[in-house]
Structure 1
Amino acid sequence: MNNIDEIIRIASRGDGVTADGRHVPFAAPGDSLNPGGGLIHGPHHIDPPCPHFQLCGGCQLQHLDEEVLKTFVQDRIVHALSAQDLALPEFMPVHISPPHSRRRVAVRSAWAGKQFQLGFSSEKSHRIVDLKQCDIMARELFAVLEPLRAFLAPRIGPKRNVEIKLALVDQGVDVLIEQWSPEGLETHEALTDFATANNLARLSTDDGYGPTTYWEPEPATVTLGGIAVAYPPYGFLQATLDGEQALSLAVQAIVGEAKLVADLFSGLGTFAFAVVQGRKVFAAEAERAALLSMKAAASKAGLSLFAEHRDLFRRPLTTAELNRFGAVILDPPRAGAREQVAELAKSDVSKIAYVSCNPSSFARDAKTLISGGFRLQRIWPVGQFRWSTHVELAGEFTRQ
């Protein structure tokens, strides 16, 4: 068999790639193509644990062993940096979240004849895969799906589909049902009965005008850096608790001894609360509910955390504002932080901890920082979205 028929790497969207550049779906490094075009499995090809694999869009890489998963996560970052002609930094060990660890997911409904389905969309399709098993969700979240099917099916007409957003909070499972407005006393009472029977932390609906909560026996919170923070319905969280811890430890290592720190795109304060002990932190966030939760929690705990409602895309911190800080934490959305990074590149800040969920926008912003006199020293690769092509990281920049 020719060497050109061997799979040598995994492409960014999950296909295996042969030595001569052919893309082969669901192949692993070490697999080979036989003369008829079939796949001969190699040592890194494993049996996928989930029967929905290849149909469900939640996972693309369940056929890869742990070694290849880690290599894939790091290679995604390496390729993004290389595309910007950047020198590679030191890479810290890759962290991969274990099965059944995802604590925040969204599923959709659909009708197949008379069957009410709940699940993820198929790859590149609007078709819903009705989940009978899920090896990425926290078990507490998956356990709610079957009761939700039974509850919603008689109340959702065949022409209506809903989206259900689930999150695991300190008090249990938080459920938000979108694109549905419950009507009538019987339905409202049924919502309460359903929440009680399933020990939900909170049950809310949103018909397009914002969440309405029907059940919340005690305020829903998430613990960040040891601080209980009020959690807005389906607010942003790092996808897994272990992933959050891996990124937080990286941020703490980068910030070091800096006494005055800025946390930009701070969200609920995941990284602000991780570093605030023994120092002062300024946090900026555009999402008002998250900002208010962070401010209230910091005030209650007596922490030196000062927060500002600020859209950093339209109004980034200026160079003069940034020069007050010894270290800056960035955790922008997938688009990156082009406007804020341009100001940072001109600043006197000595350390930047850049947390990213998109290696490509990270590499683009890294090039700007390096051109401004920073050095990319270390990267912590994190695969929170196990078996998917989604990659996260924390990067350490120091001014030379």
Structure 2
Amino acid sequence: MSDPVTRIAAKGDGLTEGGQHVAGGVPGDVLAADGTLVRGPHHVDPPCRHFPQCGGCQLQHADDAALAQFVSDRVSFAAESQGLVPGTLTPPHLSPPRTRRRATLHAARLGKKLVIGFREGGSHRIVEMTECHILHPRLFALVDPLRKLLASWGGKLAADIQLTLVDTGIAAEIKGISAENLAQTEALLDFAREHSLARLSVDEGFGPEPVWEPEPATVTLGGTPVSFPHGAFLQPTADGEAALLSAAREWCSGHGIVADLFAGLGTFAFALAGPAKVLAAEADRGAHLACQAAARASGKPVHALHRDLFRDPLTADEISKFGCVLLDPPRAGARNQVDAIAQSTASRVAYVSCNPQSWARDARRLADAGFRLAELRPVGQFRWSTHVELASLFLRD
């Protein structure tokens, strides 16, 4: 008896009407009685030759309609798991191919060959990258030159390479190598100069140290140039960032003083500042100092606060002073801070999340305190990935 695939499950496999999980299944496919998968109208040929071995993508076999449904389902099912129904569930936003502006690649010497790319799913094995449909073209253009650079390095090599597209080019950080002589130092400088890098840093195990940075690397957030510290968080695509900022502006504008919690470099704070005054609270010292310096230099009404909101959340009394509270916590969520929000007199909360499960737990706490989930916006910045983000608005009368 055939069993139709009705949706894509959280880890990327197809789920049939009969409850079976099928690798590579998408809605519209049919699991035949003999166990074979019959393709449906939403099953497409993957654009990349490295799929499915490369762990950078899990869903290249799904068309845009199936991808959009997956992103929407992940978010709406998370809400339903806590008994929450949004007043409005917007159509999901999907970032286009080749727009990822940050990524971490891996490099290793295998015999006489130097391989570089993403790892296989659930493995340390590196897939040799010869094409990529998610990386921004400027990042991908650096892969082959990096391969040639690292191939000249002596000894056994295993390195992680973090690439980020910033205002003045690419900030590259290589962890796992060291320049042990003048020739290697000159090779790094020549590489950075030839490819017009914004910054090239090397981490020998004691933290990244710049070897090339002709001028301070910055990212522009809300029209404000902000220094880009090593390891700082940046939304993975400019397109996805714009979608999240659109929600934040719509929900927070015109509501007086705004609290931006887990503010990072100030992605939301600088977009919302003026005429609103914004408190930007962040635990990471490098990000806090970058936000603070940019606020002072730009004159924007952003007050940067260095505070660990996991251990020392804003209190209910402090939260009650703000017209709108925006939070964008790490994947673990914001349990303690949400508890304080629930106990405050706040009536408007914009919650941005990269983890629907932890968000749903926090959302339930807000609902128990009298908030209603007014709007839910699914966002798929990590195209062809099972990683899903969202923006949500909670209101309390």
Match of 1:371 in 2: 368
Q: Which amino acid aligns with 2:144?
A: E
Displacement of 1:21 in angstroms is 0.8
Residues in 2 aligned to 1:88 and 1:31: alpha-carbon distance in whole angstroms: 30
Q: Deviations over 1:340-373 (max 9, x none)?
A: 0000001111211100000010010000011111
Identity of aligned residues (%): 53
Among candidates 20, 23, 33, match of residue 21 of structure 2: 23
For 2:257, the equivalent position in structure 1 comes to 260
Counterpart for residue 131 of structure 2: 133
Corresponding residue to 1:179 among 162, 176, 180: 176
Partner SS state of residue 67, structure 1: helix
Native 8 Å contact 1:167 1:234 kept in 2? no
Instruction: Give the aligned residue type for 1:390.
Output: H
Give yes or no for contact 2:338–2:365 (8 Å, CA) kept in 1: yes
Aligned partner of residue 6 in structure 1, secondary structure = strand
SS in 1 for 2:118: strand
Question: Is structure 2 residue 243 aligned with structure 1 residue 246?
Answer: yes
Shift of 1:277: 1.7
Instruction: Say if 2:86 and 2:376, in contact at 8 Å, map to a contact too.
Output: no
Deviation at 1:235, TM superposition (A): 1.7
Q: Are the aligned partners of 1:263 and 1:284 in contact in 2 as well (CA < 8 Å)? A: yes
Structure-2 residue corresponding to 1:335: 332
Q: Deviations over 1:90-109 (max 9, x none)?
A: 11121100000000000111
The answer to whether the 8 Å contact 1:328/1:351 transfers is yes
1:77-88 to 2 correspondences below 5 Å:
77-88=75-86
1:221 aligns with 2:218: yes
CA distance in 1, matches of 2:232, 2:320: 31
2:7 to 9, 24, 30: 9
Task: Name whichever of 223-232 and 110-119 sits farther off.
Answer: 110-119
Q: Does 1:352 align with 2:345?
A: no
Question: 1:64: which partner in 2?
Answer: 62
Question: 2 CA distance for matches of 1:397 and 1:134?
Answer: 38
Q: What CA distance in whole angstroms lies between the structure 1 residues aligned with 2:91 and 2:187?
A: 49
Task: Tell me if 1:286 matches 2:273.
Answer: no
Aligned partner of residue 131 in structure 1, secondary structure: coil
Q: What is the match of residue 297 of structure 2?
A: 300
Residue number in structure 1 paired with 2:39: 41
Q: Does 1:382 align with 2:379?
A: yes
Aligned CA-pair RMSD = 1.1
**2:358 aligns to what?**
361
User: For residues 76 and 213 of structure 1, what CA distance do their matches in structure 2 show?
Assistant: 40
Return the alpha-carbon distance in structure 2 between the equivalents of residues 320 and 179 of structure 1: 47
1:170-228 CA-to-partner distances (Å, cap 9, x unmatched) read 11111000122222222111111111111111100112222111111121111100111
Distance in 2 (CA, whole Å) between partners of 1:29 and 1:259 is 45
- The superposition leaves residues 126-146 of structure 1 with CA deviations (integer Å, 9 ceiling, x where unpaired) of 111111111000010011011
Q: 1:318 to 1:156 in 2, by over 3 A?
A: farther
Residue 230 of structure 1: aligned partner: 227
Is the CA contact (8 Å cut-off) linking 2:120 and 2:127 kept in structure 1? yes
Give the corresponding residue for 1:192: 189
Mapped contact 1:176–1:205 kept (Cα < 8 A): yes
**Gap runs ≥5 in structure 1:** none
Aligned counterpart in structure 1 of residue 73 of structure 2, from 72, 75, 86 = 75
Output one character per residue of 1:237-295: Cα deviation in whole Å (capped at 9) or x when no partner: 00100100000010111113111011000000000011002111111101111111111
Q: In 2, are the aligned partners of 1:166 and 1:234 still within 8 Å (CA)?
A: no
Contact kept in structure 2, 1:171 and 1:220, CA below 8 Å: yes
Aligned residues: 397
SS in 2 for 1:193: helix
TM, length-normalised to structure 1? 0.97
After superposition, the Cα gap between the structure-2 partners of 1:156 and 1:398, relative to the gap in structure 1 and judged at 3 Å, is: farther
Residues 84 and 373, structure 2, Cα contact 8 Å, conserved in 1: no
Shift of residue 304 of structure 1?
1.1
CA displacement at 1:34 relative to structure 2? 2.9
Which TM-score applies when normalising by structure 2?
0.98
Structure 1 residue aligned with 2:98: 100
Note the residue ranges of structure 2 that are not aligned, 5 or more in a row: none
CA–CA distance in 2 between the matches of 1:396 and 1:110? 45
Tell me how far 1:156 sits from its aligned partner. Answer: 4.7
